A and B are shown apart, each in its own frame.
Chain A
Amino acid sequence: MCLLITAFAAVAATIVWYFKANNRELRLGALALMYWGAALMWLVDSFFCAAEGEPFFDVSASDALLGLVIVLCGLVAWLVMLLAGDPKKVFKTFRQKN
């Protein structure tokens, strides 16, 4: 489920990036690439698990929860990158005013 949820997040982020391609300030490309990187890595992991006789997809509830946590962590990392870049100069203006 972790692989599926991350792949779904990668597809969703790519669609949003495509429709917001002119707005590079949002760094949606970085978010999509991050999820694609993780999805590809888990794909390899799943193949190795299948080669060892384990199921290709882990459909347990705990793995689904892990998938959601992974998506959340990706969003948090993206938010940190976005705020650190401060594209709208919100923090810069705030610092200048105070």
Chain B
Amino acid sequence: MACFAAPLVEAVVVSIVKKNAEKKEKKAVCAGSVKPEAQGIPFSRKLGWLSKMLWGGSFLLAIEHIWHGEVVPWPPFLTAMNNPADIGPMLTEVATVGVTMAVLVTAVWGVMVLVCNRIERRAKKAAAAEAVTEV
């Protein structure tokens, strides 16, 4: 009915956090406390992956809901809101299906970040070993 609402709310929150992280990273680079090349993939870019999955997934799910007539372009936008008896099940669906969707997408992103961090660590070790052999 409106299961995409939970990932959509998370997408908004992640986008705000990403903007703040970008600002902090820019400040750190400008202040000279962090070298851009030593930073690897910035955390804000990693947050961007989660943001894209959440925004994109919510958008495509919203299309599906429009297809099934559950979302309409006029207020109250959700057809379930027209009938008070449907509001309870709709909120239950958001709390169960929607939250599970958001949790799964976030968990997959977490695995992506872990793998990425491991690759970065290995690349740094290899570069350091190469520098030692050159000396």
Contacts and interface: CB of A to CB of B under 8 A. Distances in A.
B60 A34 contact: yes
Interface of A: 2, 6, 29-30, 33-38, 40-45, 48, 66, 69-70, 73-74, 77
B49 A33 contact: yes
A66 B65 CA distance: 10
A70 B101 contact: no
A23 B63 CA distance: 29
A41 B105 contact: yes
Given A40-B101, A41-B61, A43-B104, A30 B96 contact: no
A73 B60 contact: yes
Contacts of B57: 34, 36-38, 40-41
Chain A, interface SS category: helix
Rank and list the top 5 A-B pairs by shortest CB-CB distance, nearest first: A34-B56, A37-B57, A37-B53, A38-B60, A33-B52
Given A41-B7, A66-B64, A34 B104 contact: no
Interface of B: 3-4, 7, 49, 52-61, 63-64, 67, 96-97, 100-101, 104-105, 108
B100 A77 contact: no
Contacts of B53: 33-34, 36-37, 40
A48 B100 CA distance: 10
